[in-house]
Amino acid sequence: MTYTVATSRSLPRSADAVGIAVATSGAVPRSVGLSRAALSAHGFDGKVGQTLVVPAASGATVVAVGIGDARKATAADVRNAAAAFARATARHDKVALSIVDAVTLDARSAGQAAVEGFLLASYRFHQLKTQKSVPSGTVTIVSSGSKSRGADAGVERGKVTAGAVYLARDLANLPPAHLTARLLADRAVQVAAASGLDVEVFDKDKIEVLGLGGLLAVNKGSVEPPRMVKLTYTPKSARGSRSTGTGHLVMVGKGVTYDSGGISLKPSDPMHANMKMDMTGAASVLSAMSALAALGCPTKVTGYLMCTDNRPSGSAMAMGDVLTFRNGKTAEIHNTDAEGRLILADGLSLAVEAKPHAIVDIATLTGACMAALGPKMAGVLGSNQSFIDQVIGAADTTDERVWQLPLERSYRKFLDSNVADMKNIGGPYGGAITAALFLNEFTGDVPWAHLDIAGPMNVDGDDGWLSRGATGYGTRLLIELAMKFKRPTGRG
């Protein structure tokens, strides 16, 4: 992250550009320098995400920033307004944004959303470019009076959450040669050391001892060995005791660093080039967990990163092969491109053995989910509605949108196999549901939710707080889920 974030009780004189929130109705702040009629004449009416640069003969450039109805403005509105301001002032080094005082939203949420919007919209992946043009400078969030303390707390939290998303985006944008399973595990060790996590890395020999048949099978076609990474966050209140704080949550992330489809080779189209992002689930788990200590998360969290690539070769997994997973169940392979569920099956089996209060997995799993919900939202399915509701609540708060799909158990018959406990695909229809039903075979009676993020893993262009390329989707959602986690009622 290249921006320095500060707070102030008034607009700093050092700023060379200042953003002033303007609602769709009510008085226009005097500092804008234009009347509502003049703003309207320039096509600005205060809608969320609108900006209008007001040239000044001297002093700071003023930018009117639309916030919509100030009485109804949500954190998502503030986040997108701040993102629009970031893009309008990308060439300025010192900017300030006055938005917290303009909305009735609580100051902490507004401060956090403002920082997230500005920083996430400013993100650019530049590591592999010879000519680097990276936005940098200082952004000051202005809030006065009774809202200042809450805004300060929100700004600090926003810095942490945005930093976590930067990490997830950096990882997911890296090409396959720059982020193998081994390199991803090495990075996880570095992140764990810097963020107070316990970490254990399992190489191929240890994976064989654990009996992770799905992970080993997907890796068979590769010259790069697999890795499984276990991360553990323990809240301060629970250290040295058997307590788990507000509960024990396990996160399992799909970490396929490149997915060719294996023997079931993917077509050569633009989506194939994005298969470096097939490890976004693992990146989101790692990045979310990196923020927990800094935020004082009260929940114990364990993360499993299931890391490999999926390549075609003479030794690759073949159609008709039968795999045995960690929990002893078997699956007949009918499509080697349905590999994510195979590695998650082992991760979920390990998660159940940890006896947590709930499990969430996150994966770029099915094109079927993307076809159903499009590129802006993930699908969520699961075995326990009270836990799914927590996931949906976290999605609403972070504006990482989800839509619940049914775990239609009558579709389980589509997975029936003549030679094994199940097949790894369930036919041409309802692919997101049958994939989730496959995963459900490995979750026991633990409350479980599955996030299929194939759609929102990537965006082709800037859109609100999203910057083109890998989105790091799920990072803030998982942070929010862990921060507010409550032991679900009922069983899985």
190, part of any domain: yes
Please tell me the total number of residues recorded for the chain in this structure. Answer: 492
| CA–CA distance, 209 with 1 (Å, rounded to integer) | 40
> Residues 165, 120: contact at Cβ < 8 Å?
yes
What is the tens place of the pLDDT at every residue in 36-54? 999 999 999 999 999 999 9
The pLDDT of 397-421, averaged and rounded, is 98
Q: Find the DSSP H helices in 11-106.
A: 36-41, 75-88
161, part of any domain: no
Tell whether 343 and 276 lie within a shared domain. Answer: yes
- Closest among 474, 426, 476 to 450, alpha carbons compared: 474
Is it the case that residue 293 has pLDDT exceeding 70? Answer: yes
For tokens 């935020």, the residue is 295
What is the tens place of the pLDDT at every residue in 190-234? 999 999 999 999 999 999 999 999 999 999 999 999 999 999 999
> Residues 420, 393: contact at Cβ < 8 Å?
no
The pLDDT of 345-365, averaged and rounded, is 98
What does pTM read for this prediction? 0.97
Tokens for 263, please give them: 């023997």
Question: Pick the residue with more confidence: 146 or 451?
Answer: 451
- The per-residue pLDDT for 270 is 77
Number of domains the chain contains: 2
| CA–CA distance, 65 with 50 (Å, rounded to integer) | 6
- The per-residue pLDDT for 244 is 72
Tell whether 452 and 363 lie within a shared domain. Answer: yes
- Closest among 378, 333, 374 to 360, alpha carbons compared: 378
491, part of any domain: no
Is it the case that residue 372 has pLDDT exceeding 80? Answer: yes
Residue 1's pLDDT band (cuts 50, 70, 90): low
Tell whether 309 and 443 lie within a shared domain. Answer: yes
Tell whether 108 and 173 lie within a shared domain. Answer: no
207, part of any domain: yes
Tell whether 238 and 314 lie within a shared domain. Answer: yes
Positive or negative, the CA dihedral 99, 102, 108, 109 is negative
Domain that holds residue 416: 168-483
For tokens 């994510």, the residue is 340
489, part of any domain: no
Tell whether 261 and 345 lie within a shared domain. Answer: yes
Read off the amino acid at residue 9. R
Which of 144, 177, 203 is a domain's end point? Answer: 144
Average pLDDT over all residues of the chain: 96
231, part of any domain: yes
Tell whether 383 and 347 lie within a shared domain. Answer: yes
Q: Where is average pLDDT lowest: 17-31, 48-62, 223-237, 380-394?
A: 48-62
> Residues 110, 75: contact at Cβ < 8 Å?
yes
- The per-residue pLDDT for 87 is 96
| CA–CA distance, 381 with 439 (Å, rounded to integer) | 10
Tell whether 127 and 184 lie within a shared domain. Answer: no
Q: How many Å separate Cα 211 from the centre of its chain?
A: 29
CATH number at residue 424: 3.40.630.10
CATH number at residue 14: 3.40.220.10
Tell whether 222 and 98 lie within a shared domain. Answer: no
| CA–CA distance, 35 with 188 (Å, rounded to integer) | 53
Which of 111, 144, 177 is a domain's end point? Answer: 144
What is the tens place of the pLDDT at every residue in 424-439? 999 999 999 999 999 9
Q: How many CA atoms lie within 13 A of 208 on its CB side?
A: 5
Active site (catalytic) residues: 266, 341
Q: What percent of the chain has pLDDT over 90?
A: 91
193, part of any domain: yes
What is the tens place of the pLDDT at every residue in 102-147? 999 999 999 999 999 999 999 999 888 887 667 779 999 999 888 9
Task: Give 368's contacts (C-beta < 8 A, 6+ positions apart).
Answer: 430, 431, 432, 435
Tell whether 139 and 99 lie within a shared domain. Answer: yes
- The per-residue pLDDT for 131 is 76
Residue 309's pLDDT band (cuts 50, 70, 90): very high
Tell whether 138 and 181 lie within a shared domain. Answer: no
CA-CA distances (angstroms) from residue 70 to 25, 46, 78, 158?
Answer: 8, 10, 10, 21
The pLDDT of 438-461, averaged and rounded, is 97
Residue 242's pLDDT band (cuts 50, 70, 90): low
Tell whether 458 and 388 lie within a shared domain. Answer: yes
152, part of any domain: no
Is it the case that residue 56 has pLDDT exceeding 90? Answer: no
Q: What percent of the chain has pLDDT over 70?
A: 98
